[in-house]
Amino acid sequence: MTDPALPGLHVRPARGWVNDPNGLCRAGGRWHVFFQHNPHAPRHGRIAWGHASSADLAHWREEPIAMEPVPGGLDAAGCWSGCLVMDGTTPTICYTAVPDAPENAVGRTATGSADLSAWTRAGRPSAERIGPPGACTRDPFAVRIGGRRCIVQGHGGPGRTARVLVHDATDLSDWRLLGTLLDGRDPVARELAPADVWECPNLVRIDGRWVLIVSLLRTDGGRALLAGVRWLRGELADGPTPRFVPHEGGTVDAGWPFYAPQVLVDGERALMWGWARELDRDEAWLAGHGWAGTLTTPRELHLRDGRLVSAPAAEYLAHRAEHLDGSWSVAEAPAFAVTTSGPGVLVCAGAEGPGRVELPGRAQVLVDGSLVEVFSDGDCRTTRVYPTAASTWRVLGGGTVSARALR
């Protein structure tokens, strides 16, 4: 059988490293997800843009790699995170080009063919390096503010004030810095989203309200710590420099592996993918398995009773499925869904490392290989459990339990 820990229904190739989802879009009747990818090793390095597409948000087709680093070029050290926009009828990637070190990153664009299969990179930056030595700017995300196309980027550095910068991107080849959309001195942001850098900012309209999602990068003794993802709901004041004023916020996903999500607004619908990191896997494990990281299930976002809530996209749960009773082996159901009506524990016997996931009173649990996502009353928690070929799964307690295999 294939690697029992490898997610088979989610966006990730069979080999190599995966991190941030990028360039989400819907084109030609298909959903497209790009992602940070090192096809050469199961660790961060030589970052390219991988690509997958789907007709139904449930079954994904791996597409050719969109961009890889070019030696001696603007992105020689990596094609880092960004977004995809339609510039008229031209698909355009706006991304972080790293020439050597992350603090020297610049903004860059690449224009694509109609089928998103071929990309041509601009010969010069769209935005030059910003800030004093040691500061970094990255992760462009496009949004319309007051009828004007803008790009927001995360900014900061060790011991610095985290900021979200905003640019006028009417001309995608020349992003004009307008100023700071929000910084970490704001009292609401300081309390709810403390960080040295706000990575992967997403400024989106959800249910008619403005929401800013930021991933928290903190530094400790020179080490970078990925410290979760927060949402802030607030008001957006347009003007020469748009300003975001947050009123409330919270945690996007309570699980340690979850980071760097991106949101796609498709009509009235807001869909989010995140990166699920590996949990306590050493170099020997990574080398033996040959892969690391996966993207999460696409999640639909809403604002409800002062909270940002999420649930799996309905299309994902429309898989062909067979009912499961009692316990089941990895061979029988490498991917499955469980619903519970009361507190319980999902147990994986024979797992590599911890094999128990506590479940709240009423929950929907999605498992695919080692990826475990728990949804309960709008909250979600992403974690990892690593089954072996001999592993079996079962739920202890949980009240009324229903389980089905996903194909």
pLDDT in tens, 23-41: 999 998 999 999 999 999 9
Q: Please identify every residue annotated as catalytic.
A: 20
Residue 223's pLDDT band (cuts 50, 70, 90): confident
> What are the tokens at 97?
């080009």
Segment 224-240 shows an average pLDDT of: 94
Tokens of 158: 């060790």
Using the predicted structure, report yes or no on whether residue 236 has a pLDDT greater than 90. yes
Please tell me the distance from the alpha carbon of residue 297 to that of residue 161, in angstroms, as a whole number.
32
Give every CB contact of residue 400 below 8 A, 6+ residues apart in sequence. Answer: 340, 341, 342
CA separation (Å) from 25 to 88, 148, 399? 15, 20, 40
pLDDT of residue 134: 86
Q: Give pLDDT tens digits for 263-275.
A: 999 999 999 999 9
**pLDDT confidence band for 314 (50 / 70 / 90):** very high
Asked if pLDDT for residue 224 goes beyond 60, the answer is yes
Q: Is the pLDDT of residue 319 over 80?
A: no
pLDDT of residue 1: 57
Task: Give the integer Cα–Cα distance in Å for 32 and 55.
Answer: 9
Note the pLDDT of residue 318.
Answer: 83
pLDDT > 90 fraction of the chain, expressed in percent and rounded = 93
96: pLDDT strictly greater than 60: yes
Confidence of residue 2 (pLDDT cuts 50, 70, 90): confident
Residue 374 has pLDDT above 90, yes or no: yes
pLDDT digits (tens, 9 = 90+) for 284-305: 999 999 999 999 999 999 999 9
- The pLDDT of 247-259, averaged and rounded, is 98
Backbone angles phi, psi at 266, to 5 degrees: -120, 95
Task: Give me the pLDDT at residue 219, please.
Answer: 86
The pLDDT-based confidence of 343 (bands split at 50, 70, 90) is: very high
Cβ(339)–Cβ(374) below 8 Å: no
Question: Do residues 214 and 195 touch, judged by C-beta distance below 8 A?
Answer: yes
For the chain, give the secondary structure using H, E and C: CCCCCCCCCCCCCCCEEEEEEEEEEEECCEEEEEEEEECCCCCCCCCEEEEEEECCCCCEEEEEEEECCCCCCCCCCEEEEEEEEEECCEEEEEEEEECCCHHHCEEEEEEECCCCCCEEECCCCCECCCCCCCCEEEEEEEEEECCEEEEEEEEECCCCCCEEEEEECCCCCCCEEEEEEEECCCHHHHHHCCCCEEEEEEEEEECCEEEEEEEEEEEECCEEEEEEEEEEEEEEECCCCCEEEEEEEEECCCCCCEEEEEEEEECCEEEEEEEECCCCCCHHHHHHHCEECEECCCEEEEEECCEEEEEECCCHHHCCEEEECCEEECCCCCEEEEEECCCEEEEEECCCCCCEEEECCCEEEEEECCEEEEEECCEEEEEECCCCCCCEEEEEECCCEEEEEEC
Mean pLDDT within 308-337: 92
- Whole-angstrom Cα distance, residue 257 to residue 243? 31
Instruction: Using pLDDT thresholds of 50, 70 and 90, give the confidence band for residue 317.
Output: confident
CB 94 within 8 A of CB 109: yes
pLDDT tens, position by position, 126-137 = 999 998 888 999
**What's the pLDDT score for residue 239?**
86
> Looking at the predicted structure, is the pLDDT value of residue 222 above 80?
no
d(CA 148, CA 98): 27
pLDDT of amino acid 360 = 95
44-71 tens-digit pLDDT: 999 999 999 999 999 999 999 999 999 9
